[in-house]
Structures are given as C-alpha cells and as structure tokens.
Amino acid sequence: MAQEPSRAQQLLGDLAPKMVQLTDDVLFGDVWKREGLSPRDRSLITVSVLAATYRPEQLNSHLRLALENGLSRDELVEALTHLAFYAGWPSGMGALTQLKAIVDDETK
C-alpha cells in the first residue's frame, strides 16, 4: 500500500525536494518528536507563534493539528484571546476567525 504524500509533498511536490525532505524528516520527524515537550504543548506554542506573527497559511493546518494533538476548542479560544493583548488585536481576531471556520467546518 502506497503511503499518502505528506503535506509538504502535496504543497511543493518536485519543485523543492530538499525543503520537503527537511520539513518531513527534520521538522516533523525530529523536532516534533523530541521528548522535551508533548505534541499538545508543541502545538500550543506553534499556534501562538504563527498567530502572533500573522502566518495564516501555516496557522490553518496547525490549528487542525492542535485539535488532533489534544487541545480543545475552548483552550485554543482562550490562548488566542490572551495572545491578542500581547501580539495585537488583528492577530488574535484573525486567528480566532480561522479557528471558527475550522470548528464550523468540522461540525457540518
């Protein structure tokens, strides 16, 4: 049975094979698997940084991953609301809007 292509492979295909390899093997194969933090904690940190630095393209998939890694919708709402006071209102509102779309989509 063939393995489904990773998200990096889907996005970059043959265009940037080294970036795909680094993303799959180093970032998600090593950094995300280290024992120092749980996947849940890594997701909370990653979502916070992506929201604070206004990276909506990456934030969307990481919000989904955060939910898969055990963060609840309410925890993400609280974290993003808190973040708005430190990273700026537009960053918090934008991230919450993305989360709402994901949650609404999953309840359909």
8 Å CB contact between 40 and 71: yes
Question: In the chain, what are the domains?
Answer: 1-34 (no CATH), 36-106 (1.20.1290.10)
| CA-based nearest residue to 47, from 31, 39, 34, 59 | 59
Tokens of residue 93, six digits: 């509102």
Which amino acid makes up residue 108? K
Computed over every residue of the chain, the mean pLDDT equals: 93
pLDDT, tens digit (0-9, with 9 covering 90-100), for 54-106: 999 999 999 999 999 999 999 999 999 999 999 999 999 999 999 999 999 88
8 Å CB contact between 82 and 74: no
